[in-house]
Amino acid sequence: MSEDHHVPGPPSDIADTLNAWRDLFQRKHADDIEGLSVLDATEDPIFSFYVDFADIDGDDLLSYRFNEYPEQTIELANEVLRSMCSEHTDVRCVLRPLVFPDEKIVSVSDLRMRNRSKLVSLIVSVKDVGPRLGYLKRARYVCIECGHQEFVDQRVARERKRPSGPCKICYDEAKKALNGDISYPLFRHLN
């Protein structure tokens, strides 16, 4: 990126940042945003919208703005989230960047005045973990019969997704052994 020094404020910078956030959410999280319709504002009025730090850092403008002006840039992200998510849920979505590189992770006891307005990631222990929605991008399912593994892409705000059918290896074996077609219900019955 260029060496020009931007200051936070010019309307064009703000517009560019808003566009960059919108673009990132559309590229990486369109499914997650649609999945938000399962959320219920009476249960939890705020939803943490997890975004990989690497995705933010991979965009020149966002990387610069996020690292130099984290507060303002996160505010802009939340503004975009508010408008994008409002079609699907009443729950307020707030940006929670995750998976920071090591150099950004500090202990609370190491925080100093010089860290003011710097972007840091804290490791804390949380006593009461809320809803069961996890940040799991892919789940691996292993067949207990043959060890065949299947990966299923997950969405942030959805119930855990499972493989759509039986273990393909075992199912094919069973079909072969029985010389041809066998319905899934029958296959399940045989197991």
Please tell me whether residue 145 binds Zn ion under the rule CB under 5 A: yes
Residue 91 interacts with Zn ion (CB under 5 A)?
no
Q: Which pair of tokens denotes residue 147?
A: 């060890």
Give 72-75's long-range contacts (Cβ < 8 A, gap of 24+).
Answer: 72/8, 73/17
Return all residues near 134 (Cβ < 8 A) that are at least 6 apart.
none
Contact flag: residue 174 with Zn ion (CB under 5 A): no
Alpha-carbon span 76 to 28, nearest angstrom: 17
Residues 105-124 that bind Zn ion (CB under 5 A): none
Pick 94 or 169: Cβ nearer Zn ion:
169
Q: Which stretch binds Zn ion (CB under 5 A): 34-42, 62-70, 96-104, 140-148?
A: 140-148
How far lies 102's CA from each of 51, 58, 121, 123, 143, in Å? 17, 17, 9, 11, 35
- Residue among 46, 54, 142, 146 that touches Zn ion (CB under 5 A): 146
For the chain, the C-alpha Rg in angstroms (whole number) is 22
Which one of residues 148, 162, 175, 176 is an interface residue with Zn ion (CB under 5 A)?
148
Residue 40 or 173 with smaller CB distance to Zn ion: 173
Query: Which residue stretches of the chain are H helix?
Result: 11-35, 53-57, 60-68, 70-85, 168-177, 184-190
Comparing CB distances to Zn ion, the nearer of 137 and 148 is 148
**Which amino acid belongs to residue 96?**
R
**For Zn ion, which stretch binds (CB under 5 A), given 19-27, 66-74, 112-120, 165-173?**
165-173
Region binding Zn ion by CB under 5 A among candidate stretches 54-62, 65-73, 108-116, 163-171: 163-171
Among 106, 169, 174, 182, binds Zn ion (CB under 5 A): 169
What is the closest distance, in whole angstroms, from the C-beta atom of residue 150 to Zn ion in the complex? 9
User: What residues make contact with Zn ion under the rule CB under 5 A?
Assistant: 143, 145-146, 148, 167, 169-170
